[in-house]
Amino acid sequence: MQRTHYVLFLLVLIGIVTIPAISGQSVSTIAQTSDVLLDPISIKAVMDNDGFTIISIDARMTNLGESPISTLTFRLDSLESIVTLARVNGSYVSTTVIEYDRYTEILISLGFSLNTNESTWIELGMLSSDFQSEAITGNDPTKLVSDFIFYVRPSVWFANFTFTAVLPEEALLSQESIVPLFPDTSLNYTDGFSLAFIWFTSSLQPGQERVFIIKYQTVNYATSPIRSFIIELLLVGAIGVIFGIGIAVFGPKIIYRLRRVGRVRFIGVTTEEEEVLEVIRQKGGSCPQKDLYTEFDMSQAKVSLILNNLEERGIVRRFREGRENVVHIMEE
């Protein structure tokens, strides 16, 4: 009887050990720190003038473990970030964001099981607002100074790691800092608007860390002479536009008045009569009466009536030349 109990106990013990082992062969697991290699990996941080930073991560992920994996956990030292893009081999995938006291973990679902020694490409995009410090006025009141601090503490193995930081447009390294760039790097470029700095790390193990610090300055337009110059330029431009509109609207009338300087004025001349007289002056002081009919937006009878009134007062005279009347102004 005791022997039977011993055999049953042994069979139960064997079952407890073997069942998890058998079931574990077909279940994908979350990647452990020693299971995943990101090689190469590129992280790019593009800063704007509003304090936001666009983070772009591109990496080739390789499973070094003995079991298939279906997720990747990426750590970011930020508490104010949102995921804007997540793709695996060009296909969009889902993510889960978990916030801790001092950092955030992004859990990327691969959408399939990645077997041992297999690789896939990961793309991750984020928007963060806590990598740049708030801009403050520097010792030079025409400059605003800010800090950019980016920590890298990988939970998986990084190899051939490239980090690129792009400053906001028109920003320069701070002249008030002895060490505006840490660690120092000779790799940099510009696109004509922004400065960019590049660091390369051959290997970064889980538990190790790297920090990138940039102290930079931008123009304080609130106190900058450039702002005053721009305002003055805008004011001059506005005055010029107003002056141009005034010339366009009132110019013809001003020219008309100037042309009449030194000429004999007649008392009691109406506006319409003055317009007729001006046309005759422009034609040298005399013109065929029929030419006046085409100059005005009024009937021939109206023009003839105006000429009759002017002729009765001795301001103009009409002479017969052939088959037409010629009007001659008498004031000059």
| pLDDT reading at 54 higher than 80 | yes
Which pLDDT belongs to residue 231?
62
Averaged pLDDT for residues 250-255 = 63
Cα–Cα separations (whole angstroms), residue 258 to 222, 263, 283, 297:
47, 10, 17, 25
Share of the chain above pLDDT 90, in %: 39
Distinct helix (H) and strand (E) counts, the chain:
5, 20
Nearest to 141 by CA among 194, 195, 47, 217: 217
pLDDT tens figures, 314-328: 888 888 887 788 888
- Three-state SS for 236-280 is HHHHHHHHHHHHHHHHHHHHHHHHCCCCCCCCCCCHHHHHHHHHH
Question: Edge to edge, what strands does the sheet with 286-288 contain?
Answer: 286-288, 324-329, 316-321
Q: Which amino acid is at 259?
A: R
Q: How many C-beta atoms lie closer than 10 Å to residue 140's C-beta? A: 13
Q: Is the pTM of this model over 0.75?
A: no
Averaged pLDDT for residues 135-142 = 87
- Count how many Cα atoms sit within 13 Å of the Cα of residue 224 in the half-sphere of its side chain: 14
Cα–Cα separations (whole angstroms), residue 257 to 34, 157, 265:
93, 87, 12
| pLDDT reading at 254 higher than 80 | no
Of all helices (H) and strands (E), which one includes residue 318?
A: strand 316-321
Q: Which amino acid is at 235?
A: L
Any idea how long the chain is? Answer: 332
pLDDT tens figures, 82-102: 999 999 999 999 999 999 988
Q: Is the peptide bond before 183 cis (omega within 30 degrees of 0)?
A: yes
DSSP letter at 31?
P
Q: Please tell me the distance from the alpha carbon of residue 71 to that of residue 148, in angstroms, as a whole number.
A: 30
Averaged pLDDT for residues 104-116 = 93
Residue 104 and residue 79 in contact, taking contact as beta carbons nearer than 8 Å: yes
Strands 157-166 and 286-288: unpaired
